[in-house]
Homo-oligomer: A and B are copies of this chain.
Amino acid sequence: MIEKKHRGFKYFLGHRSPTEILIFGFALFILFGAFLLMLPVSAQSGQATGFVNALFTSTSSVCVTGLVVVDTGTYWSVFGQAVICFLVEIGGLGFMSFATMFFVLAGKRITIKDRILIQSSVNMDSLSGIVRFVKYIFFSAIAIQAIGAILLSFVFVPDFGLTTGIGFSVFHSVTSFCNAGFDLMGDYKSLTGYVDNFMVNFVICTLIVLGGLGFAVTSDLIYVRKFRKMSMHSKVVLVSTGFLLIAGFVLFFIFEFNNPKTMGNLSWHGKFLASMFQSVTPRTAGCNTIDVAGLTKPSIFLTMLLMFVGASPGSTGGGVKTTTVAIVLMTVGSVLYGKKDVIAFKRTILGPLIRRAISILVIASGLVFFMIFVLLCTEPQASFDVVVFEVLSAFGTVGLTMGLTPHLSIAGKLAISLTMFIGRLGPLTIAYAISRSEKRARENVGTIKLPEGNIMIG
């Protein structure tokens, strides 16, 4: 009987597309996390947690978002916090690459089917070297997080004692690298207590940026080193990420310089660190060192735009991705300057890639618009900016909030959970659906005519 059931499940899996298995796996894993968080042992109070709040927290963890309906530091027990940390780590490194590692370690053979599965979860174009790549992801990610935790312990152990300090260091290193905005500081205050602490700002920003560049790019940074010799994808990611970080830093510095609610009372040193952190965190990290609701309106709007753009593909971050926006902007530039082709770093960007980038941008905008409509209906008390901010934060799996999350209605919690889920899987699955349909289109034509500049998007 069990044998038959097992065969039935195998049959079921064998007839699903990789995308379907990925979605199914994520959903199952979120439900599993929600189950663990509902247990009385997960809550500080020793009481069982309701399904909606547990589901919301689990979704937020697995989708590496960090939006919270209850305060992570005071509501959950150490066990509950460990569950969240575990869900974030698996969500961040990718459900499938984790599973593959498990197969590799257990000595199992990786089939072509498995490889396609992994490919669609890490968003790589070629099947060759995929297993090696996943191994690399896993070990380098663990190494980076370990270093981050050690550095953070120099601050957190003196502040919180040995056991709690080490726990805090590990937790914040994991959530930072995975671009999940959870924190254990209590009272929804995130890292505001460390606004002018150099070590905390430096370590956490570095972890966020490394996590958000994507594994292909960090690999190029570590092994290739010279910019000229890097892949075109890495070049585009590094230039656009650098531009966004610097522009964000300068604008936050200007907008918040005299704002007493945020950094008006800080020293120049503190203002510098705070602007840097606020420029880094909307790129889907989600923790904050100054109060988001206290930001000036231009800063709020800037944060919204940065959250929509998000991180780079194949990373732990969300959003429509830097490369998608870069390709669209390069296209506009080529049109304005009357160029026949879209050219970047001496490579032509072909029509299909451009159309793919536009599709991701348009579909993402459509989903965001739809969810804004839903939230405006389910949360009639919330003002417009708060709702737009919340939806962009959920869709980009950012985790920043102007304070709406804990006050959401049940319908609102479910809508935001769904938005996080679509935000995490959407771009991936859209990209997959597009690349599959494109392969079909390509087969219709025969061959591609020009050498293509290869950039991951979505």
A440 at the interface (CB under 8 A from B): yes
A356 at the interface (CB under 8 A from B): yes
**CB contact under 8 A between A359 and B331, given known A297-B384, A372-B301:** yes
Residue-wise interface mask of A (368-393) relative to B, using a CB-CB cutoff of 8 A (1 in contact, 0 not): 01001100110010011101100000
Chain B's nearest CB lies how many Å from the CB of A182? 27
By a CB distance below 8 angstroms, the chain B residues around A433 are 336
By a CB distance below 8 angstroms, the chain B residues around A21 are none
Q: What is the chain B residue whose CB lies nearest that of A434?
A: B335
Q: What is the chain B residue whose CB lies nearest that of A372?
A: B301
CB-based contact A332/B358 at 8 Å? yes
**CB contact under 8 A between A335 and B356, given known A297-B380, A383-B383:** yes
Residues A415-458 near B (CB distance < 8 A): 433-434, 436-441, 444-445
CB-based contact B335/A297 at 8 Å? no
CB-based contact B362/A328 at 8 Å? yes
By a CB distance below 8 angstroms, the chain B residues around A332 are 355, 358-359, 362-363
By a CB distance below 8 angstroms, the chain B residues around A439 are 338
Chain B's nearest CB lies how many Å from the CB of A46? 40
Q: How far is the CA of A351 from the CA of B356 in the complex (A)?
A: 13
CB-based contact A355/B383 at 8 Å? no
Q: What is the chain B residue whose CB lies nearest that of A389?
A: B384
Q: How far is the CA of A385 from the CA of B355 in the complex (A)?
A: 32
Q: How far is the CA of A334 from the CA of B356 in the complex (A)?
A: 10
Chain B's nearest CB lies how many Å from the CB of A282? 15
> What is the interface residue range for chain A against chain B?
35 or more
By a CB distance below 8 angstroms, the chain B residues around A354 are 355
**A445 contacts which of B340, B359, B372 (Cβ < 8 Å)?**
B340
Q: Which residue, A351, A373, A438, A440, has most C-beta atoms of chain B within 10 A? A: A373
Chain B's nearest CB lies how many Å from the CB of A21? 21
A337 at the interface (CB under 8 A from B): yes
By a CB distance below 8 angstroms, the chain B residues around A438 are 335, 338
Residues A308-355 near B (CB distance < 8 A): 328-329, 331-332, 334-340, 351, 354-355
Chain B's nearest CB lies how many Å from the CB of A380? 7
**A383 contacts which of B301, B331, B384 (Cβ < 8 Å)?**
B384
CB-based contact A300/B384 at 8 Å? yes
A305 at the interface (CB under 8 A from B): yes
Q: How far is the CA of A147 from the CA of B330 in the complex (A)?
A: 49
Q: What is the chain B residue whose CB lies nearest that of A436?
A: B338
CB-based contact A340/B441 at 8 Å? yes
A193 at the interface (CB under 8 A from B): no
A298 at the interface (CB under 8 A from B): yes
By a CB distance below 8 angstroms, the chain B residues around A441 are 338-340
By a CB distance below 8 angstroms, the chain B residues around A355 are 331-332, 334-335, 354
Q: How far is the CA of A434 from the CA of B362 in the complex (A)?
A: 22
Q: What is the chain B residue whose CB lies nearest that of A334?
A: B355
By a CB distance below 8 angstroms, the chain B residues around A300 are 384
CB-based contact A376/B336 at 8 Å? no
**CB contact under 8 A between A376 and B298, given known A305-B369, A328-B358, A358-B328:** yes
Q: Apart from A300-B384, A329-B362, A338-B439, what are 14 other A-B pairs with CB-CB below 8 Å?
A: A298-B376, A301-B369, A331-B359, A332-B355, A332-B358, A332-B359, A332-B362, A335-B356, A336-B433, A339-B441, A340-B444, A383-B384, A383-B385, A384-B385
